[in-house]
Copies of this chain bind each other. A is one copy, B any other.
Amino acid sequence: MTDVKHMKWWGWGVDGVGFHHEDKPGFAPFVEYAVGLDLGTAKRAGEPSFADLKVPKSNATAAFTTALVAVVGAGNVTTDDMVRVIHTYGKSLRDLVRIRSNSILRSPDVVVYPADESEVQGIVDAAIAANAVIIPFGGGSNIAGSLEPIPAEKRTIVSLDLGRLRTVLDIDADSGLARIQAGSQGPDLEAQLNARGWTIGHFPDSFTHSTVGGWVATRSSGMQSDKYGDIADIARGLRVVRPGGVLVLRPLPSTSSGPSVREMILGSEGRLGVITEVTVQVHRIPEKRDVYAYFFPNWKAGIAAMQAISESDAAPSITRVSDARETGFSLATSKDRKGFDKFLAGTVLPGLMKSKGWNLDDICLSFIGFEGAPAHATRQKSMVDAIVKKHGGMGVGKGPGILYDQKKFDTPYLRDFLLDMGAAGDVSETAAPWSKLVSLHENVYAAAQKAYDEIGIKGWIMSHMSHSYHSGACLYFTFAFVFGSDPIAEYNTVKSAIQQAFIDSDGTISHHHGVGLEHAAWLEQDISAEGVGLVRGLVGAADPGNNFNPGKIFAG
């Protein structure tokens, strides 16, 4: 059988790794304060039982699986229940709740693992010939509902897993370009690049379990996008298997051939074909890479400083500022006597803040990264330091930044832990012009609170700004609540309120998670009816049989 490794069928990451708070004394009090959950008395749910799971039967015919076996070999075609369950959902809150509550209405009927592009072509052609549905699958980390089959689908559904296409094929050192197979996961491709002195510079939260093909398919963005760009900037060349042939976009630094086909594939979520190869920009590993922490007296000052940095000559690699609530959360999840504690637990820093007239409930923690030759990094930092100072902030050194770097991929494990304990948590992020960020933040908080009030629960929401651009930035919200009798309905109420507040406050429906099913209801408000019409027209013409991941981005 194939050697492709998958995440837990019921949660994030790999078996044996999970969140724990024994070494974080502030965590339990914080959870009680935020969502009213007493971790000391709450009963922890056990791991769900696969044996109890009702898995829809595969409808794949013997003729069809035989056709697939002819392409990829018997060991790489399966109708096994566990494998089909793993390929049913991504890892959104809704996905996790459904898998834990035995709610699988429709699964892929067959999972295939091609070895290379020609096998992908064989699968696609066989599927089209059989009028089957094809859902490309990378690492399975999607949280926008881009992977799940539409329950009403009667045709055979193939989950096309790219996991065996995981090689960095070539590096053009003079151009800083690397050809990478689409199924390559973050740590694996970065290790292959690092071994030759390069980095992709793309580190989304999902990095440990997501693939370069998935990043392209969902228009992903990484933590160091201020320096390296979003995947839309990084991905220069593409190969996409379409029925009967391969779409080939050679790696070009720029072109005036429009409308841009490259930008049609970016964010296409499998609806235009199967991405098999991405040529990405790569950079020499920088000599120096530091993440510094700063504090601001309040959110407005922090946002104003980030805007001033983006407008300045400084070029940091990361600009991030948490609001007061997320700052409180970060302090609470720190390990005892380490990290932030050494700054805040003593008397020096809080005393200093108070002496400046700061209200400690309003303080906002910021991380700013600097990369490059040592002299360059130092200069960027001195420019940034001056701007921070002008906006009333203060630097507190590299300690918390090191902690940030270590913990940056751990949040999804925390979500599973909270689910175990009876609390639902998820994220929703947007991007908007600088002038709208403060009011958008207020509006989202008010909308979330209104939703919590409607449900009648004590809910939590917190936020940070990340990913600075010349004209605006991303605001990233994390929300959580102790769920009642219908977690998904409750989640939908809160999530919908937040999404509508994004739109009403001049933000987009998602900065880096794609549209999928989760955000499709707001697409028309985001890009106007005429915009949706163009997308529908493009997809309808490219896939007249509606065989490629139907129902995602827009209904139909």
Residues in chain A within 8 A of chain B (CB atoms): 172-177, 218-221, 230, 232, 236, 240, 242, 245-269, 272-273, 281, 283-284, 307, 311, 313, 315, 372-373, 376, 379, 383, 431-436, 467, 469-474, 506-515, 519, 523, 526-531, 533-542, 553
Question: Which of A247, A373, A519 counts the most B-chain CB atoms under 10 A from its CB?
Answer: A247
B contact residues around A473 at 8 Å (CB): 253
Our pick among B236, B242, B283, B431 for the contact of A252 (Cβ within 8 Å) is: B431
The dominant DSSP class at the A interface is mixed
What residues on B are CB-neighbors of A283 within 8 Å? 311, 470
Q: Are B432 and A530 in contact (CB-based, < 8 A)?
A: no
- Name the distance in Å between A330's Cβ and chain B's nearest Cβ: 25
Q: Which chain B residues lie closer than 8 Å to A508 at the CB level? A: 250, 252, 254-257
Q: How far is the CB of A6 from chain B (nearest CB, A)?
A: 24
> Counting chain B CB atoms within 10 Å of each CB, which of A247, A268, A433 scores highest?
A433
- Which chain B positions have C-beta within 8 A of A247? 528, 530-531, 534
Q: How far is the CB of A485 from chain B (nearest CB, A)?
A: 33
B542, A533: Cβ atoms under 8 Å? Answer: yes
In the complex, what's the smallest C-beta–C-beta distance from A452 to chain B, in angstroms? Answer: 26
Contact: A472 with B542, CB < 8 Å?
no
Q: Are A535 and B261 in contact (CB under 8 A)?
A: yes
**Are A435 and B221 interface neighbours, CB within 8 A?**
no
- A471-B236 contact in complex given A257-B267, A433-B172, A534-B272, C-beta closer than 8 Å: yes
Given contact pairs A248-B528, A534-B542, A541-B537, A313 touches B372 in the complex (Cβ within 8 A): yes
Known A-B contacts A257-B510, A472-B253; A264 and B530 likewise in contact (beta carbons under 8 Å): no
**Nearest chain B CB to A515 CB, angstrom units:** 6
Whether A259 and B265, one on each chain, are in contact in the complex, defined by CB atoms closer than 8 angstroms, is yes
- A256-B434 contact in complex given A176-B471, A248-B531, A542-B534, C-beta closer than 8 Å: no
Q: Which residues of B contact A240 (CB under 8 A)?
A: 530
Tell me, rounded to whole Å, the shortest Cβ–Cβ distance linking A302 to chain B: 15
A265 to B527, CA, bound (A): 12
Closest-by-CB residue of B relative to A286 is: B313
Most interface-central of A232, A256, A536, A540 (chain B CB within 10 A): A256
